[in-house]
C-alpha cells in the first residue's frame, strides 16, 4: 500500500506587537523544571529545582502558545552576569525586536478575534488599515537565521556589560595606573586586550585586562 507524502499545513504569519507586562522585571518563565525535596539546616523540608532542568521562555510567547497560536521569537544571545556576586558571564537570550514577535495559525482559520482579545497584544504590523501577511518563504528564512539565536563574539564574555568593543575601536582605560588614557584596540585574545598607546612620544603596545576598558563615545 502506497502512503502519500503529507504536505505541511499552510500557515498565515503576522508581525504582532506585544503590550508591556505589568511586572517588567519578569520577562521570562521557567517551564519543565524538575524538583526535589531536601532538609534545610533548620530541619524543615523544602523543595528546590534540580540544576540543569527546565527551560526559560519569554512570557508573551508562553501566553500565545497556550492559546493555540504558533509563535516565532527571534532572539540574540549576549554575555551577561547571572547575578551580582560573580563576574562570570553566561550567554543569555534577549528578544531581537523590542515588543514584537511573529504569530501564526493555519491559513484561512478565523483567529483574529482570539488574538486581539488577549491582553498582551496591542497591534499588528500593517498598511492602510490591513495587516501585512508574512510569506512562509520569508518566515522560513527568518527561522533559519534567528531560530537558534545569534551569539555574541566569545571575546565579549570578558568585557564590561553594555560597554563592549571590537578590534580597531578607540577605548579608554577605566581603572589602574593608566586610568583616563585613550588607546586603540589591536587584538582581542581571551580575557586580554592588546592595545596601542602613545608613551614618551612613540607608539607602545601592551596587553590589558578586557574588563578595564570601555569604548570612547563619539
Instruction: Indicate whether 49 and 90 sit together in one domain.
Output: yes
Looking at the domain assignment, is residue 193 inside a domain? yes
For residue 97, being part of any structural domain is answered with yes
Q: Which of 104, 132, 152 is the last residue of a domain?
A: 152
Longest Cα separation, the chain: 86
- pTM for the predicted model, two decimal places: 0.63
* 199 grid coordinates: 608613551
CATH number of the CATH domain containing 186: 2.30.30.30
147 and 160 part of one domain: no
Which pLDDT tens digit goes with each residue over 51-107?
767 677 888 999 999 999 999 988 888 888 777 777 778 877 788 888 899 999 999
If asked whether residues 140 and 193 sit together in one domain, one would say no
Looking at the structure, tell me whether residues 114 and 28 fall in a common domain. yes
Domain shared by 35 and 133, yes or no? yes
Per-residue pLDDT, averaged over 153-177, amounts to 86
**CA–CA gap between residue 213 and residue 183 (Å, rounded):** 9
Question: Does residue 5 lie in a domain region?
Answer: no
Q: Does 209 share its domain with 177?
A: yes
107 and 144 fall within a common domain = yes
Residue 170 lies in a domain: yes
User: How many domains does one find in the chain?
Assistant: 2
Residues 68 and 103: their CA atoms lie apart, in Å, by 10
* Pair (17, 111) in one structural domain: yes
Band of the pLDDT at 196, cuts 50, 70, 90? very high
Same domain flag for 181 and 82: no
From 63, 132, 73, select the one nearest 102 (Cα to Cα). 73
Same domain, 112 and 192: no
Beta bridge partners of residue 89, listed in sequence order:
81
pLDDT digits (tens, 9 = 90+) for 105-155: 999 899 999 999 999 999 999 999 899 999 999 998 888 888 766 677 778
Based on the fold, state whether residues 84 and 29 are members of the same structural domain. yes
Q: Which residues contact 149 (CB under 8 A, 6 or more apart)?
A: 75, 76, 77, 93
- pLDDT the model gives residue 15: 96
Give the residue numbers spanning the domain of 19. Answer: 11-152
What CATH number does residue 142 fall under?
3.30.70
Q: Look at residue 6 and tell me if it is in a domain.
A: no
Q: Which of 121, 137, 152 is the last residue of a domain?
A: 152
Q: Are residues 64 and 141 in the same domain?
A: yes
Amino acid at each position: 500500500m502506497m502512503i502519500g507524502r503529507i504536505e505541511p499545513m499552510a500557515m498565515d504569519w503576522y508581525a504582532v506587537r506585544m503590550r508591556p507586562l505589568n511586572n517588567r522585571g519578569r520577562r521570562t518563565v521557567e517551564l519543565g523544571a524538575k524538583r526535589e525535596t531536601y532538609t534545610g539546616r533548620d530541619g524543615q523540608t523544602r523543595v528546590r529545582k534540580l540544576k540543569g532542568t527546565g527551560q526559560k521562555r519569554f512570557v508573551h510567547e508562553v501566553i500565545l502558545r497556550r492559546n493555540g497560536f504558533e509563535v516565532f521569537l527571534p532572539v540574540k544571545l549576549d554575555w551577561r552576569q547571572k547575578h551580582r556576586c560573580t563576574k562570570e558571564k553566561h550567554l543569555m537570550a534577549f528578544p531581537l525586536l523590542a515588543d514584537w514577535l511573529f504569530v501564526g495559525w493555519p491559513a484561512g482559520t478565523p483567529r483574529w478575534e482570539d488574538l486581539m482579545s488577549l491582553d498582551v497584544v496591542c497591534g499588528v504590523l500593517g498598511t492602510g488599515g490591513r495587516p501585512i501577511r508574512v510569506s512562509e518563504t520569508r518566515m522560513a528564512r527568518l527561522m533559519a537565521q534567528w531560530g537558534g539565536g545569534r551569539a555574541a563574539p566569545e571575546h565579549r564574555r570578558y568585557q564590561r556589560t553594555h560597554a563592549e568593543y571590537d578590534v580597531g575601536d578607540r577605548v579608554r582605560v577605566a581603572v589602574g595606573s593608566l586610568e583616563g588614557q585613550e588607546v586603540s584596540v589591536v587584538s582581542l585574545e581571551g580575557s586580554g586586550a592588546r592595545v596601542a598607546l602613545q608613551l614618551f612620544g612613540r607608539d607602545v603596545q601592551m596587553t590589558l585586562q578586557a574588563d578595564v576598558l570601555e569604548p570612547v563615545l563619539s
